[in-house]
Every structure is written in C-alpha cells, then in structure tokens.
Structure 1
C-alpha cells in the first residue's frame, strides 16, 4: 500500500457510476485486487467479513436475542434488509452490490439493546458530541473496523469507496446541521474529514438514491418482520386488529410516534384495508398451517411495499437506470400509512408493554454502569480501544473511546460484564 490519500487510479466502475464513485479515501495497491471482482463487490465482501457484522448476531432487534430461537436478531434483520434492498435497488438501476453493502452495514453502529442502548449512550455522550447509531455506523466503517491505516497508524476503517460510504449514510449531515426537526445525524465532529470527502459535490442534506433504497428496505423489513415476530411470540393479539376501536387507537399512536404528517383517518383506514384484504391471518398457534399463513403474510406485504415504491419511482423518473442523485425513492402515501401502522402494532403490543418497559430500564442501567466502569478503570478496555485511549488528548476524546467500547459490546457480553463488575 502506498499510504497516500487519493484515487485508486486503476479502479473500475459499474454502469451509471464514475471513477469518483469508486475512489477510496486511501489509495490501495492495484496488485491487491482480484480480477474477478469490481470495487463494489470488494466493498460488500469487506462488510460481510467484518467483526462488526458478526457481533450483530447477539444484539437486540426488538426482543432480546435469547427470547426465542425463531425471533430475529440484529444480524438476521440486516440480512433480510439486504435481500429486500438488493432486489429493489436493482429494479431501479442501482448497483446491487452497493445497495446490498449499505443494507448489511446500516446497523453496524447499534450498541447492545438496540435503540434503547442508543438512547442511553446519547445521554452519556450529550456534552461530548452525542451518540447516534447512524453516526456510529459511519465511525465503524471509517475508523473502528480494522482493514487499512495511514502511514502514521491512524485507521481509515474498511476504506470503502465513496459511493458505498455514501449509500450507508442515511442522514448526511453532522449533529445540529439538519434543516429538519430531528435528533438524527450521520457523522461525529471528529469523523468529519472522511465524511466531507464522501459528500464532496453531493447536494446538501440529501441522501443518495442507494441510501434511500436502503432506508425503505429497512422500514419494510422491520415493520413487517417485527409484527411477524410479535405474532410468533404471542404478544400481538390478532383478534384486536379486527376492532375499529383498536385500529383508531393504533392510528393515534402511529401519527404521534412515526408520521405526524399523515391523517389519523387515513392511517386507520389503511389497516382496515390490510385486514380486509385477508393478508393478515386471524389466528396463530404455531401449527405448520399457521406458520405458512404467517410467512405468506410476510411475503405478500414485502412484495406489495417494494413493488409500490418501484412503480411510483419509475412513474416519476422513467424507466432508465437510476443511480446516486439521478432520482429519489417515491413512496405512495397509502403505502407509507400501511407501513407506519405495522410499526404501531409492534409498538403497542411489544415495545410499550409494562414488562418491556421494566426491561428497558434495566438495560439503561447496565449501559450507564459499564460506561462508568470503563471510565474509572481504563485497563478494562479491549486492546483496540486501549490503543485509541492512548491517542486521546482530552476528556471528550477519552469519553468517546469509552462510548465506542460500550457500543461494540453484544447483549450477552454487556450483561455479563455488568454482573462481574457490580
């Protein structure tokens, strides 16, 4: 490796992409390439073989990974998002490997206990740059996951191409820079150098098409699959979905939590339409017939959501290949309402139950305990993070190392360390 920053002059690029899209922040030796794979396939391989992806196997999706062997974890969710996104993106003309890679990578920054752990770390890091799962994903890809390093030893993570890093960036702005009313952001201040390189020439605040494809594939996967898991675990009472009063309550929850721009009557009607279509089964007792009916529901809903978005996007932008900033994903309002109502079902019957709320409180205590333990005794840090701590030059930087360490933990390891250190 030359160790210099700049374009890989011998890179190849797929149709619809330019040499700038296949550029890497750190130039790599062309002799390291395999002739049978292009740059984007190499990037997908780097994510697929990363330790960060493997750790998702024991991180919470919605229910803890030890709840039931049939319940999804963060890794199986990511694999399903990748399958949905790859086909959806290819239908629009995106490079399938770029979208596949972005989908595989989209949750790499999630800490133990999913969004609950994310909220706990955000409070701890509030005065030191914050914590956000998407910004942490960018940090994993460009710093924490070891693959390439500069001559001075500073890691550049997996050293992915510009197009792939951009595709994994759902919120292309730094903390506090968004014009939207959101706490979401895609980059910490001390990761700005590579972030600015990735976004050079891109429209301000606009995610690329591949990132939008990943985002919708993620929405589709977790809205459908989380309801499937809720039904499988017996937490979602299917009979309630046939009640107009329950649908109205779910619509209120959906609007207040997920989609304030959508009308409550539209939301309630969208679930009534889904129920009336016969796509949602009336019962589930884990018999083979009922498992088959539930799987049929999943397939039909995913196909419906993806085909509707494909058709609406094609209607607006035409049938030619679309990549990067040539188009935006279009989601019909009625389809978005259906998706949002599925999220509300999961929220109402799984995430907001009294038992679940108690579990969330315990998990937040574990995160806070671990962060304090690492701060009080840095010798507990894993070797990679101990190396980062030696480079840290102020208290905020040291806290960031601790945050990175805690975020990297799996659910079981976090719980075990908390037990050992209590």
Structure 2
C-alpha cells in the first residue's frame, strides 16, 4: 500500500515512533497496530453504552458513541483511500476520537467541566490523550497504549492547532499539559491530512445520523425537513426518483444520499486546496495556515443552516433536555459524593486519592466518572443515593 501513497501522506515506514521503544510488528504497520490497540482497549468497549444524543437505554436503534465512532471510521477510510493517504492512520484517529467522552454525552462533559474548575478542568479531547497515555492498563512495560506519534498527534489536535505560534501552553487543558511530551506534539501546527480527514468524517457522520435518529425517534418529521438547506432537496430528489417511497426506506435512502454528497464535496474541495497550496510532504501540510481537508464554502453554509435547525428542533427539544439534565444531576451527585468521601470509591482507586476534596482525589474521581457508561453511572447513583424500603 505504501507505494501508492501521495507524497503528503503519513508513510508508516517513516513514523516518528513511540514514547516507549518497541520492536516493529512483522505483520502490521505502526498505524495498523495502533488501530488494533484502540479497538481492543477497555475505553473503546465502553463506548457501546455512552450517549451520543439519545441515552443508551432509550432504544437499541439509536447511535451510541461506539456506533458513531465506527461510522466515522468508515467514512474516514473512504476519504483516505480516495486521497491516497494512509487509511489505517485515518481510521485509528477516527476510532480513538471519543475515547475520553464521559457518560451522558456533552451534558456529562459540561457537568464534569464545571465540577473540575478548581482542579484543572475537564475536556473530552484532552481526556482521550489521558486515556491512551496513562489510564489504560494493558501492558506490563508501560501504562496507556503507547501509540505512534502520528496517532497521538491526531488524537490531540485533529480539530486544528491548539496554540498560536509562540504561545507557551498556559491555556491548554490540564490533561494535555500533564503529558510529559506535549511540547513534542507541535500543538501550534496543523495535523496530518489523515487526522484532518477523521475530523471532517466526524462532522459528516453526526450531521447525518442525528437526522436519522431524530426522525426515527419522532422528534423530527420529514415535512419539517423540507425547508432545511441541503436536506429538503435530498428528500425531494429521493421521492421523485422513487415515487411513493416513505418510512424507514425513504429515511435511509436520503441519509445515504446526503453522506455521498458531503463526501464528494470534501474530496472536491480538498483536491482543490492541495493543488493550489502545492503541498508535497507531511511537513508542508502541517505548515499550512489553514486546514487542507475541508468542505466547500457552499456546503459549509448549508451545514450551518442544518445545525441551526437541529439545535432548535432536536437538541433543545424538551425530551432531550430532560434526559440531559438528568445525566448532569447524576454526574454532579456522584462527583460530590466521591469527593467528600473518597472511601466510597472502589478499593483500587484509594491509593490515587489524597483525602476529602483534595486535588488528586478530584482528578481520580473525574477519571472514574469519565470512564463510566450511562448504565453504570445510573447503577452507581442508585447504590449511593437510593435506599429501597426506607422512609
């Protein structure tokens, strides 16, 4: 495969290596090895019961963080193959991008961020770095997954540079600054094309599956979507192509069509930017002042209209807001209970604490809660705060 890579791709044969030196695999490239380590890690498995939009117990059909990550990875491989860059690195970055997400989606993240304000803060992207460099305990030689430099870089800054040139890093999330090699990740530069592909694949996946889940949940209707930029045109095209088409098959066909349109748009715009910028190496990709992988201006505008519609009609729907508020309350209760009495934590966490309301205790509690699934968080909350048969 490496013989067909474009000159600006990340060639696995020239990887910058790992934090802990290991012999290379005879059967897998470094990026294939990273992908496999991510898939086999505990944090990845727990994504199966972590909220995307709808909490996991509301139905088996709705996306979870796990199914979302798989959809992102599938789109990333398609884009990477078309652009002749490393598919395995794009896939690994896509599969890892949500490993640090706590239970209950962004509402759980908002709750933890607020609770951790006096203890270094919380950010799910930074927590992902913490997961893959420290919290996963699978290997006798090191903590974490010991991923290749290119994969770590993609995990940390797939959405773009975190620092302006010359910035000292004081504004970075604590979990990034706590990683001893954070300066080596070149946080004031753009990341590889493969990681940029993972970021755009995330946008494509959630825009489309949120429409799908919203329609199937009954929070949205096809009629509402007819005036939404891009979406309405696609539904009308599908209905004209297949007269009488309705229900789940119409939804699936329209979503499939929208994914195809967005992928085609990204390929067209990215190829234009590659040609105009004249990039010819990984270094030239990272030295750009803007992303190479992007939507066109027209698609960006239409997606902004779609996001406004989804916020007004789905994310802010009272049923979704009620579930989010319940998740926040569970996270707040658990955090406060464990912080006030670290002895309530499972025994294996006790050596990591420094007493009630201590800074190390707060970080340990945060790590514990961030690793929970929705179901486990509800179970822990019930054990601590619900006394059956009393009162």
What band does the TM-score fall into relative to the shorter chain?
0.7 to 0.9
In structure 1, the residue matched to 2:265 is 308
- Cα offset, 1:297, TM superposition: 1.2
Q: Which residue does 1:23 correspond to in 2?
A: 17
Instruction: Answer yes or no: is 1:196 the counterpart of 2:183.
Output: yes
Tell me whether 1:420 sits opposite 2:377 in the alignment.
no
Alpha-carbon distance change, 277 to 295 in structure 1, aligned in 2, over 3 angstroms: closer
Greater CA drift, 232-241 or 341-350: 341-350
Q: How does 1:109-188 map onto structure 2 within 5 Å?
A: 109-148=100-139, 155-169=142-156, 170=158, 188=175
What are the equivalent positions in structure 2 for 1:34-49 lying under 5 Å apart? 34-49=25-40
2:250 to 273, 278, 293: 293
Q: Is the 8 A contact 2:200 2:294 kept in 1?
A: no
- Unaligned stretches of 5+ residues in structure 1: 1-13, 248-270
Structure 1 distance, partners of 2:254, 2:234, is 11
For residue 238 of structure 1, what is the aligned residue in structure 2? 222
Match in the other structure for 1:253 = none
Task: Return structure 1 stretches of 4+ with deviation > 3 angstroms.
Answer: 147-150, 171-174, 177-180, 184-187, 276-282, 318-325, 382-390
Query: Cα 1:274–1:414, aligned 2, differ >3 Å: closer, same or farther?
Result: closer
Residue matched to 2:389? none
Q: Tell me the distance in 2 between the aligned counterparts of 1:196 and 1:216.
A: 25
With over 3 angstroms needed to count, the CA separation of the structure-2 counterparts of 1:19 and 1:385, relative to structure 1, is farther
Q: Taking CA–CA contacts closer than 8 Å with sequence separation of 6 or more, which of the two structures ends up with the larger relative contact order?
A: 2
Provide the rounded CA distance (Å) in 2 between the counterparts of 1:322 and 1:335. Answer: 28
Partner of 2:316: 352
| 2:122–2:173 CA contact under 8 A, matched in 1 | no
Once residues 289 and 240 of structure 1 are traced to their aligned partners in structure 2, the CA distance between those partners, rounded to angstroms, is: 15
- Cα distance change, pair 382–49 in 1 and its aligned pair in 2 (3 A): farther
Distance 1:280 1:128 in 2: 52
**Residue matched to 1:52:** 43
Q: Which runs of 5+ in 2 are unaligned?
A: 1-7, 386-391
Query: Are the counterparts in 2 of residues 309 and 332 from structure 1 also a CA contact under 8 Å?
Result: yes
TM-score calculated relative to the size of structure 2: 0.83
In structure 1, the residue matched to 2:211 is: 227
Give the corresponding residue for 1:6.
none
Aligned length, in residue pairs: 362
Distance change >3 Å, CA 357–CA 226, structure 1 → 2? same
Q: Distance in 1 between matches of 2:213 and 2:59?
A: 10
Conservation of the 8 A alpha-carbon contact between 1:172 and 1:186? no
Deviation at 1:233, TM superposition (A): 1.1
Partner Cα distance (2:236, 2:351) in 1: 53
SS of the residue corresponding to residue 146 of structure 1 reads: coil
* Structure 1 counterpart of 2:194, from 198, 203, 210: 210
Are the counterparts in 1 of residues 159 and 196 from structure 2 also a CA contact under 8 Å?
no
Identify the match of residue 63 of structure 1 among 48, 54, 70.
Answer: 54
> Are residues 325 and 73 of structure 1, via their aligned partners in 2, closer, same or farther at CA, if it must alter by over 3 Å?
farther
The separation in 1 between residues aligned to 2:139 and 2:173, in whole angstroms, is 22
